[in-house]
Amino acid sequence: MSTGPVLFTTPLERQYWAARGYFVLIVDYRRSENYGPSPLLAEHVNADGFERDFDDINASIDAALARAPIDEDRLAVIGHSFGSAEVNWIVTHSDRFHAAVSYEGFDYFVSWGEQGKALSSLEWDLGGKSPLDAPEAYQREAAIFHARGPRHQRYSSIVSVGSNSRGAAWLSAALIRQGVDAALVTYKDEGHVIVKPQHQRDLLERVTAWIDGHLGYSKNEATVEN
């Protein structure tokens, strides 16, 4: 079993959310590689990977809604690293989720200059083309270029960052300026994964309060039937 997106060092986070009364859905979208590299990855040559991933995520949510008593008006999404970049793209293209947590993500345009001689994943998909060669492709995949619009009226975001803060700071600032209830959280002396116990506890408590608060969670709803 893979780990959770907040407590990235343990899979117990899934049980934690379930114990609070939430339905937990882990989507194996085509670029997640949760079960190994997808044979569909070869199709990602037109900088539409996030869009295709979101198609997979939406299909999984629709299937879950058809099978379980899930309130479609109280959905949240959480992602770490590449999953965080997915969250950033989703919330700038959809209002399906009412709360979101983007933890240690990136933005293709903002982070490209930090790659040095290494290829970013999008650059790899585009056969080595950089933003200088294909600016329209990078704009299509970069969430910051899609941060304006009415789709955010019912979206809430918290962006939690350990080290790669620039892309998250740009996006959270753009959302806040449009009246979105967003927050940026950073932890000193942490890397791509929050590892200090005191920071992990603080992060989990913040995320829990954020999700509970924006989805209207009540302890009375978290019942277990024997």
Which three-class secondary structure string do you get for 165-195? Answer: HHHHHHHHHHHHCCCCEEEEEECCCCCCCCC
For the chain, give the percent of residues with pLDDT over 90: 24
In a domain, 154, yes or no: yes
In a domain, 3, yes or no: no
pLDDT (0 to 100) of residue 224? 43
Q: How many domains does the chain have?
A: 1
> Strand order of the sheet with strand 99-103?
76-80, 99-103, 156-161, 181-186
Q: What is the dihedral of CA 41, 165, 196, 17, to 10 degrees?
A: -60
Of 143, 167, 141, give the one whose Cα is nearest residue 49. 141
Here the tokens at position 221 are: 């709803």
CATH number at residue 84: 3.40.50.1820
pLDDT (0 to 100) of residue 127? 76
CA atoms within a 13 Å half-sphere pointing along the CA-CB vector of 65: 12
Q: Give the chain's residues under pLDDT 70.
A: 1-2, 33-47, 108-119, 150-166, 219-226
**Torsion region of 36: left, alpha or beta (phi above 0 gives left; psi -120 to 50 gives alpha):** left
In a domain, 149, yes or no: yes
Please give the residue range of the domain that contains residue 115.
12-24+71-219
pLDDT (0 to 100) of residue 19? 93
pLDDT (0 to 100) of residue 187? 86
In a domain, 59, yes or no: no
In a domain, 35, yes or no: no
* CA atoms of 110 and 221, how far apart (whole Å): 41
* CA atoms of 145 and 129, how far apart (whole Å): 19
* CA atoms of 177 and 181, how far apart (whole Å): 10
In a domain, 201, yes or no: yes
Report the alpha-carbon angle 220-17-82, nearest 5.
Answer: 145
In a domain, 61, yes or no: no
In a domain, 127, yes or no: yes
